[in-house]
Structure 1
Amino acid sequence: MSTLQRAVFIAIAWVSFALGLIGVFVPLMPTTCFMLLAVWAASRGSPRFAIWIREHPRFGPAVVAWEGERAIPRHAKWLATAMLAFSMLVLAFTVSLLWLKLSLIAGLSLIGAWIFTRPEPVAAP
C-alpha cells in the first residue's frame, strides 16, 4: 500500500471517528455507523488506531459485536428506534409534500424493522 493510500485511510478513519464522537452529543446523528467506518478505514491505514477503537469502553463493544456477530445490542436498538420515531414525527409535521413525507416515513420504518431483526450479541461466558 502506498503512503498516499495509507494517509487517505487514516484521514477517513479520523474524520469518521470525529463524526461518531459528535453523534454521541447530537441527537439525530448516528454514532455506531461512523465508528464502524472508522475501524474499517483504520484497519487499512493504522491498525493500532483500529485496535484502540475496538478496545474503547464506550464504542468498542458495539463495533466488536457487529464485526463478530453482525449483532446490535438491545439498548442500541431501542435508542435507534426512539430516534427514528422522533425523526418520523418531525417529518410528519414539517414536510408538506405528501408523497415525500410518506416515502421518508416508510423508508425510516424499513430501517427500524431491519435494525430490530438483527440479533443481539451473545453474552460473554
Structure 2
Amino acid sequence: MAYRNIFLIVFGWICVGLGIVGAVLPVMPTTVFLLIAAWAFAKGSPRLHGWLLDHPRLGSYIRDWELYGAIPLRGKITALVMISLSASWMVFFSTLPALAVGGTLAVLACVLVFIFTRPSAAPQSDI
C-alpha cells in the first residue's frame, strides 16, 4: 500500500473520530469532518469509502451530498438558527472592531446563501 493511501486512511479515521466528537459536543461540527473523511476514504480506500456510504445512520446524508450536493432541510434550519445566534451575539456583545464584525457577517451571509441554494433532498425517480 502506498504511503499516500496510508496517510489518507489515517486522515479519514481522524476525521471520523472528530465527527463523532462533534456529534456529542455542540461546539464541534460533525458533517464537515464526515465529508472530509468520505473524500479521504474515496481516495485512499474504496472499501472504507463504501463502509461510510453504507453506514445505517450517516450513509444517506453523505451519499446525497456526494451525488447531488443535497443538504437536508433540518440541517439548513439548524445552520440558519446557529448562524443567526452567533451573528446576534457578535453584533450585541462582541468587542471586536466594526470592520471585523461586518466582515464576519458578510462571510456568514455567504455561507447561508450557499446552504440554501443547495437542494434539500436527492431527486425522486419516476419509477
Normalized against structure 2, the TM-score is what? 0.86
| Structure 2 residue aligned with 1:109 | 109
Q: CA 1:124 to 1:21, structure 2 compared with 1: closer, same or farther past 3 Å? A: farther
Compute the displacement of 1:5 (Å): 0.9
Q: Which amino acid in 2 is paired with 1:28?
A: V
User: Aligned residue pairs: how many?
Assistant: 124
Deviations 1:53-81 (A, max 9, x none): 11222221211111111111111111111
Q: Which amino acid in 1 is paired with 2:77?
A: W
Q: CA 1:111 to 1:95, structure 2 compared with 1: closer, same or farther past 3 Å? A: farther
Contact 1:19–1:31, Cα closer than 8 Å, also in 2 = yes
| Structure 2 residue aligned with 1:44 | 43
2: CA distance, partners of 1:34 / 1:16: 5
Compute the displacement of 1:85 (Å): 1.4
Q: Which amino acid in 2 is paired with 1:20?
A: G
Q: CA 1:34 to 1:96, structure 2 compared with 1: closer, same or farther past 3 Å? A: same
Structure 1 gap ranges (5+):
none
Structure 2 gap ranges (5+):
none
Identity fraction in percent: 33
Superposition pairs of residues 1-125 of structure 1, within 5 angstroms: 3-92=2-91, 93-122=93-122
2: CA distance, partners of 1:57 / 1:79: 22
Deviations 1:22-72 (A, max 9, x none): 221222322112111101111222222211211222221211111111111
Contact 1:77–1:115, Cα closer than 8 Å, also in 2 = yes
- Matched residue SS, 2:27: coil
Normalized against structure 1, the TM-score is what? 0.88
1: CA distance, partners of 2:108 / 2:56: 29
